[in-house]
Amino acid sequence: MMRRLLPLLAVALLALQLAGCGAGNDRSTASSPGADAEASQSASPSHNHAVPAPSPSAGQPTLSSEHSESPRVSEEKSALHDAAKDVVEALRDRDLKRLAGWIDGERGLRFSPYAHLDAKSGLVFKAGQLPSFRDADKLEWGVYDGSGEPISLTFRDYFEKFVYDQDFADAPDMNENKLKGKGNSAYNGQEVYPGSSFVEFHYPGFDDKLEGQDWESLILTFVPSGRDWRLCAVTHAQWTI
């Protein structure tokens, strides 16, 4: 009797074991999504941490506020440029009335035949005192470079030799607060007029054989007046001995 029951008991035990394994697999399968989600969360970056921006490469320039030009500085430079253009055109047109409108009321207008301004003996004119092109009187404008002889000329003759002897309104170079034309006579306008700015109209030369020694410049010196500029010096510059 027992021998007959043993096979049946063995089959029953085997069935119970198989059923238990199936239930265990089901529980394992049911718990796997949570584990996968936890693993996924720990592997992915947290949304609370910002991703750092890439740093610029060595070859990529960066704009520094230190080097950027403020709107006020840009406005002043534009006003200086416009003032210089209007003055040089007035000189080209020999329009003394237009020129007088730019003269600084306090300092007047100084004429200098060379880059170095003579602050002691140079001629200075107020707006209403500019000579006429018709004046026959000769004035002492300084001394000639090299000889030291006095420059004694009428206003017309001085203008044609030491102001507008070239078409400076059409000069190839226009420079603000820097000079291309430099010789033995150094420009000292900003020493004579502290706080001033200047504009140079420059010809690098006319005869290739002279290798630039025949350069000429017209330098207009301005002093600030509020948001505007006023003319205080007209300077002729050229190669000097």
pTM of the model: 0.71
pLDDT tier for residue 53 given thresholds of 50, 70 and 90: very low
Answer yes or no: is pLDDT of 106 > 90.
yes
Whether pLDDT at 38 is above 50: no
CB 209 within 8 Å of CB 113: no
Q: How far is CA 29 from CA 18, 24, 37, in A?
A: 17, 9, 14
Sign of the alpha-carbon torsion through 63, 65, 71, 74: negative
Span 138-153, pLDDT tens digits: 999 999 998 999 999 9
pLDDT, mean over the chain: 81
Q: Is the pLDDT of residue 158 over 70?
A: yes
| Cα–Cα distance measured from residue 230 to residue 107, given in angstroms and rounded to the nearest whole number | 9
pLDDT at 129 over 90: yes
Which residue has better confidence, 104 or 60? Answer: 104
Burial class from Cβ neighbours inside 10 Å (0-12, 13-18, 19+) for residue 149 reads exposed
Per the CB < 8 A criterion, the answer to whether 229 and 222 are in contact is yes
User: At 120, is the pLDDT very low, low, confident or very high (cuts 50, 70, 90)?
Assistant: confident
Q: Is the domain defined by 73-238 classed in CATH 3.40.630?
A: no
| Per-residue pLDDT, 61 | 37
User: Domains of the chain: which residue ranges?
Assistant: 73-238
Length of the chain: 241
